[in-house]
Amino acid sequence: MTNRIALITGASRGIGAATARLFAARGYAVCINYRSRREAAEAVQADIEAAGGRCVLIQADVSVEAEVIRLFQQLDEQLGALDCLVNNAGILHPQSKLLAMTAERINEVLSANVTGSFLCAREAVKRMSTSEGGRGGSIVNVSSMAAIKGSPNEYIDYAASKGAVDSMTRGLALEVAAEGIRVNAVRPGLIYTDIHADGGEPGRVDRLKDKIPLQRGGQPEEVAEAIWWLASDRSAFVTGSFIDLSGGL
């Protein structure tokens, strides 16, 4: 058991929920952040507690600076000094070509996926940096294979937001490497979660799975394993790196 403390943003469902369950099972005290689905977040909390784990729930929209500041203050009070941030919260909008995209839509995606990840990373670095009196730590960003593929005809705004997450991963990793903080990312491919329904196509993974070299979609638990490895001391010599979980796509 590690006795470490991890914040998983967007942990009410999907990859974040699987990550929260796995971290708790491996000894982390976990903060489950969510934006709006309180009941779903409570169900994750109930699972963790039933398995003997420790967790707290904190609602906050990570795209809003004041809410991120409050999230970290509540986390300090309720769990203590953070060891690991998993920047998982993310959104996409219904599939669309660029010609139909509004500024409002593009800015919403960038605010949640990029600004949110930056703000949470900033608050985590403040607490973890050995230059600021912290004891170091690990940040794992949840990017996407979309950053590489570009998601044409579906959501190039989302893909570009994940490209920004990749750049931040590399740059921040170098910026804080000497301060005891490692920064890495996972790039999932097609994973069975409800995000595809938000994109207007709940069956998207099944439609595309035959194009995946491994001939299937991925499960959130498989992504959680890679996040856990990047967060843990097993990957102590790894920073500024990416793990693609895409079945070869």
Q: Which residues are catalytic?
A: 158
**Structure tokens, 46:** 């109930």
* H or E, element range at 155: none
Single residue of 6, 7, 8, 13 touching ligand NAP by CB under 6 A: 13
**Closest CB 28 distance from ligand NAP, rounded Å:** 18
Candidates 122-130, 132-140, 177-185, 193-201: pick the segment binding ligand NAP (CB under 6 A). Answer: 193-201
Please tell me the distance from the alpha carbon of residue 40 to that of residue 224, in angstroms, as a whole number.
Answer: 18
Longest dimension (CA), the chain: 51
CB neighbours of 225 closer than 8 A, spacing ≥ 6? 22
Q: Let me know: does 241 contact 184? Beta carbons within 8 Å.
A: yes
Three-class secondary structure of residue 138 per DSSP: strand
According to DSSP, the residues that pair with 181 across neighbouring strands are: 137
* Amino acid (1-letter code) at residue 211: K
Residue 169 C-beta-side C-alpha neighbours within 13 Å:
28
Single residue of 115, 129, 144, 239 touching ligand NAP by CB under 6 A: 144
Q: Which of 55, 54, 61 is nearest to 9 (CA)?
A: 61
Q: Which of 104, 149, 115 is nearest to 9 (CA)?
A: 115
Give the nearer residue to ligand NAP in terms of CB position, either 14 or 53: 14
Residues in region 61-120 near ligand NAP by CB under 6 A:
61-63, 88-91, 112, 116
9 is an interface residue for ligand NAP by CB under 6 A: yes
Q: Let me know: does 89 contact 33? Beta carbons within 8 Å.
A: yes
Single residue of 147, 176, 190, 227 touching ligand NAP by CB under 6 A: 190
Please tell me the distance from the alpha carbon of residue 30 to that of residue 7, in angstroms, as a whole number.
Answer: 6
**Closest CB 78 distance from ligand NAP, rounded Å:** 17
Candidates 98-106, 169-177, 184-192, 226-234: pick the segment binding ligand NAP (CB under 6 A). Answer: 184-192
Q: Which of 142, 140, 193 is nearest to 14 (CA)?
A: 193
Give the nearer residue to ligand NAP in terms of CB position, either 173 or 185: 185
Single residue of 34, 118, 155, 228 touching ligand NAP by CB under 6 A: 34
**Closest CB 45 distance from ligand NAP, rounded Å:** 13
Candidates 23-31, 47-55, 58-66, 120-128: pick the segment binding ligand NAP (CB under 6 A). Answer: 58-66
**Closest CB 249 distance from ligand NAP, rounded Å:** 11
**Closest CB 41 distance from ligand NAP, rounded Å:** 6
The footprint of ligand NAP (CB under 6 A) covers 9-16, 33-37, 40, 61-63, 88-91, 112, 116, 142, 144, 188, 190-191, 193-195, 198
